[in-house]
Amino acid sequence: MTQVVHTIDELQALTRNFNGPVVLVPTMGALHAGHLSLVAKAQEIPDAMVIVSIFVNPLQFAAGEDLDAYPRTLDKDVEKLKTAGVPYVFAPTANEMYAAGPRTIIHPGPAGSILEGKTRPTHFAGVLTVVHKLFHITGATHAVFGEKDYQQLLLIKQMVTDLNLNITIIAAPTVREDSGLALSSRNQYLSKEQTQLAPTIYRALHAGAQHDTAAAVQRAVTETLTAHPEIVVDYVAVTSPELTDPVSGENRLLIAARVGETRLIDNMAIELA
C-alpha cells in the first residue's frame, strides 16, 4: 500500500519514531524508468523506509522557463510507485514548502556558476534550497540522485560536506533508451523526428570517449554534433570529476544542447592520458 502525504507535519509524524534508515528519492514527477531505477537503488538498503518526493520546485525555474508546462502526472506517478512497492510519497504544494515565500536561499558557490549555472544562473540555488529542505523535512539518512544530472549531483555532495549534513548521498547510473538517449521527463516534448535526432548527443559522447586527450575528445564531439545543424549546442565540456580542469585518469565529458525547443543534457565518464 502506498500512502500519499501532502503536509510536512503528517510526514514527520510518520518518520519521527522510525528507527531504521530513511531513504529519500527526490523527484519532480513525470516518472519514467530512470526514476524507478533510483527507487530500486534506495530499496537495496536493508530495513529502510523509502520516501519518494514529487514536487515541481518553482525556485529552480527562471522566468521564461517551462515551469507552467512541466508535466504534472501525480496519479500516474503514484500508480508506478505503488507497483514498485514504495510505501510513502511526499507530494506537497508550493505553499506548503515555502509558507513564507522563498526567503532563505542556499548559494551553490563557484561550481554552480559554470555549465548549467552559466545558462541558468538561479537554477542550482533553487535545487540546493529545496533538497536541503527535503532532507530536513524527511529526516533522511540517505538520498539517491542520478548521474544524468551530474553537476547537480556534485553540488548536492558539496552542500552535504560544507554544511556538515549527516546524510549519505548515493549516485545511480544514467538509464538510457535503446538508442542511447538518456531518459528525461523532458523527452516527451520531442516530436517523432526530434526523438530520432536526439540520440546524436549520446553518439557524440561515445565518439569523444574513444580519445585520451581533452583536445581530441572535444574535437570528436564537436564533429559529431556539427554534422547535425538542427542540434543547437550550448556547451561541450571536458572536466575533472569535480568540474575543474581535466586531469590524468578519470574525467567527465558533459554536453547540453537543444533539439527543437527542448534542452537536453547528458554526460559520461572518460579516461584521459
Q: Is 185 annotated as a binding residue?
A: yes
Active site includes 35?
A: yes
Grid cell of 217 as nine digits: 575528445
- CA 159 from centroid of its chain's CA atoms: 15
Q: Is 180 annotated as a binding residue?
A: no
Q: With beta carbons less than 8 A apart as the criterion, state whether 153 and 161 touch.
A: no
Q: Is 146 annotated as a binding residue?
A: yes
Choose, from 6, 35, 142, 228, the residue flagged as catalytic. Answer: 35
Q: Is 32 annotated as a binding residue?
A: yes
List Cα–Cα distances, 15 to 5, 66, 114, 119, 131, in angstroms.
Answer: 12, 33, 37, 38, 17
Q: With beta carbons less than 8 A apart as the criterion, state whether 273 and 213 touch.
A: yes
Instruction: Give the count of beta carbons closer than 10 Å to the beta carbon of residue 129.
Output: 22
* Bridge partners, residue 250, by sequence: 271
Q: Is 208 annotated as a binding residue?
A: no
Class of residue 234 by CB neighbours under 10 A (exposed 0-12, middle 13-18, buried 19+):
middle
Q: Is 20 annotated as a binding residue?
A: no
| E strand map for 114-261 | 142-146, 168-172, 231-239, 249-259
Q: Is 30 annotated as a binding residue?
A: yes
Q: Is 148 annotated as a binding residue?
A: yes
Q: Is 97 annotated as a binding residue?
A: no
Q: Is 220 annotated as a binding residue?
A: no
Residue ranges for the known binding site for (R)-pantoate are 60, 152
Active site amino acids = 35
Binding site residues for beta-alanine, as ranges? 60
The annotated binding site for ATP is made up of 28-35, 146-149, 175, 183-186
Mark the binding-site residues, compressed into ranges. Answer: 28-35, 60, 146-149, 152, 175, 183-186
